[in-house]
């Protein structure tokens, strides 16, 4: 068994243990351990990306599957939780993005001087948890990593954040906890409804304990489960996400069986389960109207934590929709396609309009994230090849661009102590290299051709336009309205660029950085230049990513449309 995926998860967690053993005064050593851990993680992520074979017929590659927790419940069957991880087209880009942004975040954190040991221990715990979310194929394992992200982020904001850090941290915690509880409810329902056909065949004596279980044996076990001739104590219930995506693995009469007629308050239980999961992951994404925690968290979080929040944690919400919600409840996904698309369009327009009204640069970028995550929902709801590929590409692209944007904001704040747009004029005069990178980041985010953001949004809009004829999910007016978000994006970015960087050089006289608005340092170049290069590379050569991820995403699309049509 290849343990490359486990290494990606546990290298930062092992670094946490090393840091905890170091003296708290050993600041440089703690930072160096963090950089080495995330650097090694990045190297492994790049190797994984290059070794990934898009032509294989396997659903998942580099799979690691071990029994973790087993509990015999007698007449209720066997409770089974597995350490089950793997990678496919949906998760490959997110793994690469996590490796890259983790290193950038460590470099952005290099100036941290308050409780360095605690900060980097929490940071690495967060990084390992995010990577675990993107690799987990067992719902319980996914949920465990999903919850592990909550506490490190709460403390990183609450202890190292700005003046209103306690409020922002508590708001983030409450919103995320509510979403987690909604996901937990459905997870339990799915566990009681789904069996592992391979483990059930072995437990029922239809297959040997050692050796492969044939496809015919699996089909026979599934037939016996449907017919009710297999004893309940022989059933092995599972949290396996791939098993949950197969209708034949649902126990007849169970609460979430695909043919279940059970209703709650006059509404099909499976449709309610879809909504609970959707809301849980939508809070993390986030989308309107469950987005209000995001601007507060971004404004108060340190620069490096804002980078991780925008680049990685938001993507866990979109990833959960792709990995769990749509494949497990395909008929509800088709039923709610209009609703999901409408939420996406509202998020695009509302987020862009709020960004246009912001005086704080960091809040403007935070609301732009709400708008850009709306494109993810729109592409997903379209259930077209262009739209779904575009949604995944948007998550990857936005991860790169948003990292640049928040680092840019941090550069200005470090020098002046302010993020208010009207406090600056003509920064291009004193910071020409910085201005050039700002132009790249702003143009990439507003979707200018030649940048990765353009490819992502183009694919989403193509998918939304063709959805009415290809999949029959979305009306064309949604795509038309969504294009207004692109115009608004150009407006707030160009307006901020004009006000802050051009004209006669001026900095508000009350700011500490009036005479300190110097150009980039070597550390800042090290963060911004690679991101700018990648934004250009993936904008000019999108096939570098698309040829790797498209087969997996098309498999996802086929699974949803066949079972939900």
Q: How far apart are CA 84 and CA 62, in angstroms?
A: 11
Q: How far apart are CA 309 and CA 284, in angstroms?
A: 10
Q: How far apart are CA 262 and CA 260, in angstroms?
A: 5
Instruction: Identify the pLDDT of residue 155.
Output: 94
Q: Which residues pair with 195 in a beta bridge?
A: 237
Instruction: Identify the pLDDT of residue 74.
Output: 67
Instruction: Identify the pLDDT of residue 511.
Output: 78
Instruction: Identify the pLDDT of residue 233.
Output: 79
Q: What is the DSSP string of 153-194?
A: HHHHHHHHS-TTHHHHHHHHHHHHHHHHHHHHHHHHHHHHHB
What stretch of H or E contains 444? helix 432-445
What stretch of H or E contains 385? helix 385-416
Q: How far apart are CA 283 and CA 336, in angstroms?
A: 17
Q: How far from 341 is each of 227, 481, 559, CA to CA, in Å?
A: 39, 11, 20
Axis crossing angle, helix 293-300 with helix 165-193, rounded to the nearest 10 = 130
Q: How many CB atoms lie within 10 A of CB 407?
A: 23
Global pTM? 0.94
Q: What is the DSSP string of 263-300?
A: EETTEEHHHHHHHHHHHHHHHHTT-TTS-THHHHHHHH
Q: Which residues pair with 425 in a beta bridge?
A: 506
User: Is residue 375 a contact partner of residue 460, using CB atoms and an 8 Å limit?
Assistant: yes
Q: How many CB atoms lie within 10 A of CB 449?
A: 11
Alpha helices per DSSP H over 52-115 = 89-108
Instruction: Identify the pLDDT of residue 513.
Output: 56
Q: How far apart are CA 279 and CA 180, in angstroms?
A: 10
Q: Which residues pair with 194 in a beta bridge?
A: 250
- Strand, helix or coil for residue 232: helix
Instruction: Identify the pLDDT of residue 77.
Output: 66
Q: How far apart are CA 542 and CA 537, in angstroms?
A: 8
What stretch of H or E contains 218? helix 215-227
Q: How far from 465 is each of 98, 386, 459, CA to CA, in Å?
A: 31, 10, 10
Q: How far apart are CA 345 and CA 358, in angstroms?
A: 20
Q: What is the DSSP string of 480-542?
A: HHHHHHHHHHHHHHHHHHHHHHSSS-EE-TTSTTTT------HHHHHHHHHHHHHHHHHHH-T
User: Is residue 520 a contact partner of residue 68, using CB atoms and an 8 Å limit?
Assistant: no
Instruction: Identify the pLDDT of residue 45.
Output: 97
Instruction: Identify the pLDDT of residue 503.
Output: 84
- pLDDT tens for the 565 residues of the chain, in order: 578 999 999 999 999 999 999 988 888 899 999 999 999 999 999 999 999 999 887 889 999 999 888 877 766 667 888 999 999 999 999 999 999 999 999 999 999 988 999 999 999 999 999 999 999 999 999 999 999 999 999 999 999 988 889 999 999 999 999 999 999 999 999 998 998 888 888 887 777 777 677 888 888 888 888 877 787 777 888 999 999 998 888 888 888 887 777 777 778 899 999 999 999 999 998 999 999 999 999 889 999 999 999 999 999 999 999 999 999 999 999 999 999 999 999 999 999 999 999 999 999 999 999 999 999 999 999 999 999 999 999 999 999 999 999 999 999 998 888 899 999 999 999 899 999 999 999 999 999 999 999 999 999 999 999 998 988 889 999 999 999 999 999 999 999 999 999 988 888 887 765 557 888 999 999 999 999 999 999 999 999 999 999 999 989 998 898 876 5
Q: Where do the DSSP E strands lie in 404-447? A: 424-425
DSSP β-ladder status, 267-268 and 506-507: unpaired
- Strand, helix or coil for residue 68: strand
User: Is residue 203 a contact partner of residue 234, using CB atoms and an 8 Å limit?
Assistant: yes
């Amino acid at each position: 068994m290849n343990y490359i995926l486990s290494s990606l998860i546990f290298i930062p967690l092992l670094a946490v243990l090393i840091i905890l053993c170091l003296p708290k005064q050993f600041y440089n050593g703690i930072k160096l351990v963090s950089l080495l851990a995330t650097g090694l993680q990045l190297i492994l992520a790049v190797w994984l990306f290059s070794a990934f074979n898009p032509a294989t017929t396997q659903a998942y590659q580099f799979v690691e599957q071990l029994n973790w927790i087993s509990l015999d419940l007698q007449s209720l069957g066997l409770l089974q939780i597995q350490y089950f991880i793997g990678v496919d087209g949906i998760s490959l880009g997110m793994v690469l993005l996590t490796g890259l942004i983790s290193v950038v975040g460590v470099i952005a954190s290099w100036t941290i001087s308050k409780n360095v040991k605690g900060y980097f221990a929490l940071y690495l715990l967060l990084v390992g948890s995010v990577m675990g979310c993107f690799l987990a194929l067992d719902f319980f394992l996914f949920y465990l990593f999903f919850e592990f992200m909550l506490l490190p982020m709460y403390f990183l904001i609450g202890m190292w954040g700005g003046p209103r850090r306690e409020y922002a941290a508590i708001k983030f915690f409450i919103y995320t906890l509510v979403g987690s509880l909604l996901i937990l409810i459905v997870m339990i329902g799915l566990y009681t409804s789904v069996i592992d056909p391979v483990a059930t065949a072995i437990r029922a004596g239809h297959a040997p304990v050692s050796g492969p279980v044939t496809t015919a044996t699996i089909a026979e076990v599934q037939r016996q489960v449907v017919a009710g001739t297999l004893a309940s104590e022989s059933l092995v219930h599972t949290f396996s996400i791939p098993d949950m995506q197969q209708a034949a693995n649902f126990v007849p009469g169970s609460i979430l069986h695909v043919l279940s007629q059970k209703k709650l308050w006059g509404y099909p239980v499976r449709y309610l389960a879809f909504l609970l999961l959707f809301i849980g992951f939508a809070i993390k994404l986030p989308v309107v109207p469950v987005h209000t925690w995001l601007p507060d968290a971004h404004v108060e979080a340190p620069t490096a934590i804002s980078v991780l929040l925008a680049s990685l944690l938001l993507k866990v919400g979109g990833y959960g929709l792709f990995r769990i919600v749509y494949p497990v409840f395909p008929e509800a996904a088709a039923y709610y396609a209009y609703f999901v698309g409408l939420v996406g369009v509202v998020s695009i327009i509302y987020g862009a309009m709020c960004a246009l009204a912001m005086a704080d640069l960091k809040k403007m970028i935070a609301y732009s994230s709400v708008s850009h995550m709306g494109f993810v929902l729109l592409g997903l709801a379209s259930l077209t090849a262009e739209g779904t590929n575009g949604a995944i590409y948007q998550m990857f692209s936005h991860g790169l661009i948003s990292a640049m944007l928040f680092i840019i904001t941090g550069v200005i704040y470090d020098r002046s102590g302010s993020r208010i747009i009207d406090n600056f004029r003509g920064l291009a005069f004193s910071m020409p290299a910085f201005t050039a990178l700002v132009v790249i980041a702003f143009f990439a985010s507003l979707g200018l051709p030649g940048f990765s953001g353009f490819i992502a949004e183009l694919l989403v809009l193509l998918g939304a336009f063709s959805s009415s004829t290809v999949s029959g999910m979305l009306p064309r007016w949604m795509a038309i309205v969504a294009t207004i978000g692109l115009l608004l994006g150009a407006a707030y970015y160009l307006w901020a660029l004009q006000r802050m960087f051009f004209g006669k050089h001026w900095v508000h006289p009350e700011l500490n950085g009036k005479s300190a608005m110097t150009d980039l340092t070597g550390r800042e170049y090290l963060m911004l230049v690679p991101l700018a290069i990648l934004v250009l590379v993936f904008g000019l050569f999108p096939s570098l990513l698309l040829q790797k991820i498209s087969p997996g995403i098309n498999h996802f699309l086929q699974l949803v449309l066949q079972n939900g049509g």
